């Protein structure tokens, strides 16, 4: 039986978001370490949009609360202690950037998914530079929001998978998606969040050449305006940490992209 369609109280929302509730994902459901549902805080001053997102996320198994303004979001973040926040940029009291700034100043590193009509590269960069983790512009599909949110939570240390081995192994290189630990030949390797995500993408595709465009889309999830040099920079960071003093595993295929493969 197909999931119900979400009602709209505000017709102006129609056309700005795909209204069908996402089908259940094939991937294992994510939970908190104690097995309880992950918590998501949705912050938007448009009640119909908030209702729609909340319904979709609850259908996916999340525990959801909503706030209509920035001050309410800050209060709920302290009380509810969410595992992720979907945050609208434009709010009636303080904007999303200010909400984000106050959370980060207070030591709160909850993953933030910005939801906004601002879609210029400059706006995207400013939001992410301020400490946001990802960015979805209106109009959007519920499927995209759910997928982006799941990706953010998987990259945080708060969630565990109900099934399967959390480790990815390529040769003597081991990456644990749950503990965020990386080692090569028993040597522990410290990575930043972006380096970890880049390495995970490479290791999930061993012996497969990945283009800069593919890496940008998967790891950064937004348009750098053609500045693919960021990929080269982070590949160089990884090489210094992964291949230091070892036979190289990360290779450049000129004119094509990058590949990781076990040493012979």
DSSP string, 232-251: HHHHHHHHHHHSTTS---EE
The span from the CA of 186 to the CA of 233, in Å, is: 26
Q: What is the pLDDT of residue 86?
A: 94
* Lowest mean pLDDT, pick from 172-176, 217-221, 240-244: 217-221
Residue-wise pLDDT for 102-137, tens only, equals 988 887 878 888 887 765 555 555 555 556 677 787
In contact, 242 and 197? CB cutoff 8 Å: no
The candidate with the shortest Cα–Cα distance to 156, out of 57, 30, 50, is 30
Q: What is the dihedral of CA 12, 16, 19, 20, to 10 degrees?
A: 170
Q: What is the pLDDT of residue 241?
A: 94
Task: Give the pLDDT band (50/70/90) at residue 80.
Answer: very high
Residue-wise pLDDT for 14-49, tens only, equals 344 544 444 444 455 677 766 688 999 999 999 999
Q: What is the pLDDT of residue 188?
A: 93
């Amino acid at each position: 039986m197909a999931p119900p369609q979400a009602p709209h109280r505000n017709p102006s929302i129609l056309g700005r978001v795909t209204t069908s509730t996402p089908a259940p994902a094939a991937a294992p459901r994510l939970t908190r370490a104690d097995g309880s549902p992950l918590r998501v805080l949705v912050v938007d001053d448009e009640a119909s949009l908030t209702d729609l997102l909340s319904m979709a996320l609850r259908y996916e198994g999340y525990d959801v609360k909503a706030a209509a303004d920035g001050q309410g979001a800050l209060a709920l973040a302290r009380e509810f202690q969410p595992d992720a926040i979907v945050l609208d940029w434009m709010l009636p009291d303080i904007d999303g950037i200010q909400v984000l700034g106050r959370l980060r100043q207070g030591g709160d590193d909850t993953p933030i998914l910005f939801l906004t009509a601002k879609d210029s590269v400059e706006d995207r960069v400013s939001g992410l530079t301020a400490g946001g983790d990802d960015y979805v512009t209106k109009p959007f599909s519920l499927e995209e929001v759910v997928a982006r949110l799941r990706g953010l939570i998987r990259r945080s240390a708060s969630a565990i998978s109900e099934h399967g081995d959390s480790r990815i192994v390529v040769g003597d290189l081991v990456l644990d998606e749950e503990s965020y630990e990386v080692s090569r030949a028993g040597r522990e390797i410290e990575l930043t969040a972006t380096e970890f995500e880049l390495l995970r993408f490479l290791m999930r595709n061993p012996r497969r050449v990945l283009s800069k465009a593919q890496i940008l889309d998967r790891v950064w999830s937004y348009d750098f305006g053609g500045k693919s040099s960021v990929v080269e920079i982070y590949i160089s960071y990884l090489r210094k940490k992964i291949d230091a003093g070892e036979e190289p595993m990360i290779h450049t295929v000129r004119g094509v992209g990058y590949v990781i493969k076990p040493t012979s």
